[in-house]
Structure 1
């Protein structure tokens, strides 16, 4: 290996090292940001579907008075009910699309692959059922 090739190799190693360091730093900072911003969860509900944490944060951050707090709480409750209704209405359509996709996927699999696929799908369904039972 001549000297120029060695220098190029070292240069690329430094570049790759900087890139990896940037990725690790970015991932770490993202975790810190998400934990400080409420775990990165979107919307009004926490993991258990409760609106309380969101409301309390809003009440504190906006310094809501008692009347505003009562009005905002009602709005959040009504909105939560609307979301729940929408979810209940759209759930059958979602399930039909998911089942259609599974049927189409099974069609291209071998019998052995189908067994594995069916087992994995059942595991996902069971896991989803557990989350659903622990939520609203």
Structure 2
């Protein structure tokens, strides 16, 4: 089986045929990591209940947790309005980051300046 043609037609892939996949914990909304998917990785994710990525460095598919035990159980998958990014909500078992941390985004705040002109509520 392959990715549903209706879904494939909506994807806007990069030059390597990949789409960014942002992974978020379903209940806390914590952003866990960013991975990359091609059509096959997305198909496997949509049909297996576990998240599969395409490893750009290894040039192969990898299902999160198969070697580490830190699995990602799929709760939902959504495509953004431009078709160039996916939001995958999961139940994360153990660490999401290869460093052993819960999230890949805890390496330190970059201390961005908050605009004094930002509207209330932080919306643009």
CA radius of gyration, larger in: 1
TM-score w.r.t. the length of structure 1 is 0.25
More helix, by proportion: 1
TM-score w.r.t. the length of structure 2 is 0.26
